[in-house]
Structure 1
């Protein structure tokens, strides 16, 4: 009689409802980190929300910083993919910037990005920080390329496209740092995004 082949001790099943256990853990953990912040999420919390054992979480991620790093890198990679789609259309640059800003604000609507990352970075290793910085770099590279392309076409005056990319992301991020009362002074998300892009665009149009 054939003996039943056992899984390696501690090795979780590969799939759960068609999604790998690792992907499930990563997806749920990402949401938890974004909602609660890095310090308030434990590996126990993640295991409970994923309906797996703590040992299963540790099978894939040796530490919480490993899990956080993978979660943030994958999140930034998804944002990067979305940016590529937005900035590769034939739409005018101003409309592309509007879609970029709106997508960014929708994805981070209730997050103070600066505080969120500051809390986490104190716990990360240099290697983990490097991985996150490389993923973030891709986003700036795409925006810089779009600005340079618009400058070459004469759509906007020539200037430093890298600085332009950094300034635009900083302005968009400001939308996350507004207090609730100020945010509510805008009639809609589109109104907020329009005003941010208009401020930025006025600077570009004047060659500043």
Structure 2
């Protein structure tokens, strides 16, 4: 059963820098616990104990566990989006950027997010689900923009760039299976193979 607090009054004061720092600590701690134990097994009391705040303090910042889960998930995905954009923008060429990105994602599997979502979705409000899915979509949009540039430069054949972004993200899920990673000597080797297969399938000529 979801943990919810009473509606906050309109007289709630503005957040101070200290409030924001506490909120960030709560989100980070919740993210860690959700990834380790899943949505249902984690309680607000556990989260509070782990980050050294009271349960009422969590309710001061979040309406309940589902609201905190939304914040934790969207924060994780926003961080992935920033890393994705940075790696692709800084790379000398797209293929190297994709390899670095795949290597990073293989070393820090993204698949537990889908596992958590499957467990949590029946207990979330539609707006919370949409917020999480939108944060995930923004990662695909970053990839899609780089794939569109490759098409404009006639490096990739014409295709729906968003479809290619989702396809590439799916390939990177191979790293969630320990067996797949054990077949290769390093994440870099597997990343190079994934990117090579992807690019051979989409480039011109």
| Alignment partner, residue 143 of structure 2 | 143
| Alignment partner, residue 200 of structure 2 | 202
- 4+ residue segments displaced more than 4 Å: none
| Cα pair distance change 1:154/1:89, threshold 3 Å | farther
| Alignment partner, residue 154 of structure 2 | 154
* In 2, Cα distance between equivalents of 1:23 and 1:112: 21
Pair member with larger Rg: 1
Q: How does 1:39-188 map to 2 (within 5 A)?
A: 39-89=40-90, 91-108=92-109, 111-176=111-176, 178=177, 180-188=178-186
* Contact 1:84 1:142 survives alignment (8 Å): yes
- In the TM superposition, residue 112 of structure 1 has moved relative to its aligned partner by 3.6
- In the TM superposition, residue 125 of structure 1 has moved relative to its aligned partner by 0.6
Structure 2: gaps spanning 5 or more residues: 1-10
TM-score by length of 1: 0.83
Aligned residues: 194
Structure 1: gaps spanning 5 or more residues: 1-7
The CA deviation string for residues 78-111 of structure 1, in whole angstroms up to 9 with x for no partner, is: 11111111222352211111122122223327x5
| Cα pair distance change 1:183/1:137, threshold 3 Å | same
* Contact 2:44 2:65 survives alignment (8 Å): yes
TM-score by length of 2: 0.84
* In 2, Cα distance between equivalents of 1:47 and 1:90: 40
Greater shift, 197-206 or 187-196, is seen at 197-206
Cα RMSD after superposing both structures: 2.5
Q: How does 1:33-44 map to 2 (within 5 A)?
A: 33-44=34-45
| Cα pair distance change 1:36/1:206, threshold 3 Å | farther
